[in-house]
Amino acid sequence: MRESDSDGTKVKAEYSITLHPHRSLSPKAFTSLMLFIGGVSFVAGMIFALQGAWPVLGFFGLDVLAIYIAFKLNFRSGRHFEVIEIIDGELNITAHYPNGSEKHRSFQAYWSRTVFEKDKLFIRCRGESTEIGHFLIDDEKAEVKEMITNALYRYRHGHALRD
């Protein structure tokens, strides 16, 4: 829920949902996995080095480094999230990117609709549209579509959005 508007006044969202990409590996598990991979690579590399093929040890080190970089890039992309809110008749979509930048779109909530087509989830309003939740799997997109559709229905029909 957003707590303040640009002019500093307190604004509470009538409806708010935050979408995050799924990451199943915790930081502690990542450390354990990297220690295991590093240990196995070191032992295997030392076996080759003791047999005279010492350059292989360096290639094992490069493999560990490549795996580490790949995981770090994956964790970085996991910091992307989207906030969808209904505030004062507006459906606001704010995408927060890992580099700290944001992209904001705003639609009239009364005329907004959620559309799921070709494996993509869109918010549409009067000829304009924006994709949301591109990082979600299809089942999650269907669930989010249902949640936002219900919130928009309750908004249009004057029902309380917070239960």
CB count in 10 Å sphere of residue 46 = 14
List pLDDT tens digits, range 89-143: 899 999 998 888 999 999 998 899 999 888 899 999 988 999 999 899 889 999 9
Q: How far apart are CA 157 and CA 149, in angstroms?
A: 12
List the structure tokens of 72. Answer: 């770090």
**What is the percentage of the chain residues whose pLDDT exceeds 70?**
90
What is the mean pLDDT of the segment spanning 36-46? 95
Q: Give, for 8, the enclosing helix (H) or strand (E).
A: none
Q: In order of start, what are the domains of the chain with their CATH numbers? A: 15-22+80-156 (2.30.29), 27-77 (no CATH)
Q: Give, for 106, the enclosing helix (H) or strand (E).
A: strand 102-108
Q: How far apart are CA 155 and CA 110, in angstroms?
A: 7
List the structure tokens of 124. Answer: 């549409």
Encoded amino acid at 107, one letter: F
